[in-house]
Amino acid sequence: MRRIRVLLAGATGRTGREVARYLVGQSDLQLVAALAREGAGGDLGDLAGPELAGVPVFAGLEEAYRAAAPQVWVDFTRAAAVEENLLLGVRLGLHPVVGTSGIRPEKLRELEAEAERVGVGAAVISNFSLGAMLLAQCAVQVHRWFPDVEIIELHHATKVDRPSGTALRLAERLGGEVPIHSVRLPGLMAHQEVLFGGDGEVLTLRHDALSRSCYGPGVATAVRKVQRLRRVVYDLEELLEEERPRRGVRKG
């Protein structure tokens, strides 16, 4: 079996380490290179754990591409770094799988145009958790019956962007003018509530990410499927559409 060759940017960060560990455990994926601000020229095993030994670390995207020949570029860094590399990556033929939030809309429009021009697929997804995906799907359905809605997103104290990309994307799917309340406190990780108000009742949807390991399966799915695309997708469900179980037809 020919494995998909993956480059991971942000591999030494908290989310990046968890994603890296998940990727190296997949028999059909091969983590061939990492990008990191520190440790370039070294080994990822020395920076992020012995299970990642043998993965070379590079300072720049083009250098990593020339040396390791990745097919898919996974990014969990910062918006400024992603914006700097997006068009370059697509022009090199890399398929971006981006979990970094805060990318400016105009940069995404540039990515969409370039991806279409060169025929390269990309996934820019605010949350790779399967649970967060299901919350969004449920919220869209509930909103048909409960038009009055607000979002509360709660994250760890060091999260830079406010509101979170997850909340912004959900608000967009619900109609755009949904109020968002942001909480940043020690002890939290990543949590989202969607509150719907009705006549004499309130309906609440909530998702809690208790460990960054929850992002691994979604990222791996995106890596496997992004090469089939020729456009940019923004929701995990677009990549999972073909995997939805189909109810069998009862005979007799």
Integer Cα distance of 93 and 223 in angstroms: 14
155 assigned to active site: yes
Catalytic residue among 155, 191, 207, 225: 155
Q: Is 199 exposed, middle or buried (0-12, 13-18, 19+ CB in 10 A)?
A: exposed
Catalytic residue among 107, 156, 159, 225: 159
- Spatial neighbors of 117 by CB under 8 A, at least 6 apart, are none
Q: In what order do the strands lie in the sheet with 232-233?
A: 57-58, 29-35, 4-9, 72-75, 95-98, 122-124, 232-233
- Please state the separation of Cα 102 from the chain's center in Å: 12
Q: Which H or E element spans position 19?
A: helix 14-24
Question: Which ranges of 69-164 does DSSP label H, i.e. alpha helix?
Answer: 79-92, 105-118, 130-143
DSSP state at residue 251: P
- Please state, in angstroms and as integers, the Cα–Cα distance from residue 76 to each residue in 11, 17, 81, 224, 242, following that order: 7, 10, 10, 17, 26
251 assigned to active site: no
Q: Which residues are the active-site residues? A: 155, 159
